[in-house]
Chains A and B, each alone.
Chain A
Amino acid sequence: QSVLTQSPSASGTPGQRVTISCSGSSSNIGSNTVNWYQQLPGTAPKLLIYSNNQRPSGVPDRFSGSKSGTSASLAISGLQSEDEADYYCAAWYDSLNGPVFGGGTRLTVL
């Protein structure tokens, strides 16, 4: 059981907007920034969003992040087939004195 809770799966059709959520507590998301990682099948993870809502260079603006209280969300607009991947949230966990990941959400593009 992960400290950060994500729905195991999500799906959408091409062009649609989908949202992936990540729920935590006051000791992690509530007091620290959230990052999101994308892992395409058979590849290493890639930083997608950092500091709640910042995109690294090269990440399309179709991807956006937000945080409110002890929860965070990743939104993907204009869904494309190449967005089919596993998505993980992560945040520093004060009680652990280390970072924690969510369990991951597998996004399927129908």
Chain B
Amino acid sequence: EVQLVESGGGLVKPGGSLRLSCAASGFTFSSYSMNWVRQAPGKGLEWVSSISSSSSYIYYADSVKGRFTISRDNAKNSLYLQMNSLRAEDTAVYYCARGGGDYVSATFDYWGQGTLVTVSS
């Protein structure tokens, strides 16, 4: 059974940093692209970042480019999102989602339960 479990969310002050983690199990992690998608309270889904299976291709939404860094450790079956210079508008539930293949696409076939990030003073 595919499982994705996010952790690392919490309350942080504007300008602060946070590192999210996603622990994957139940599939060959190194064969799939991975993604972060967020959802602000009461709002729709927003793609944040994607990374190909071997980390060769990395993409970011304009809203987080230069502030967030996606990475993965295939030996540990883990995905990460380093978030710096956080703003109030980054407040959201952050979902880890598996891609449909080793390449990056708009297909997210499994999702974690999400971790809440709140940016507030």
Contact = CB atoms under 8 A, between A and B. Distances in A.
B50 interface: yes
Query: Interface size class for chain A?
Result: 20 to 34
A2 B30 CA distance: 32
B106 A99 contact: yes
Contacts of B50: 98-99
Contacts of A92: 105-106
Interface residues of B, number: 23
B62 interface: yes
Interface stretch (A13-21, A42-50, A63-71, A77-85): A42-50
A100 B47 contact: yes
Contacts of A30: none
Q: Which 5 A-B pairs have the closest CB atoms?
A: A99-B106, A104-B44, A44-B111, A101-B45, A90-B106
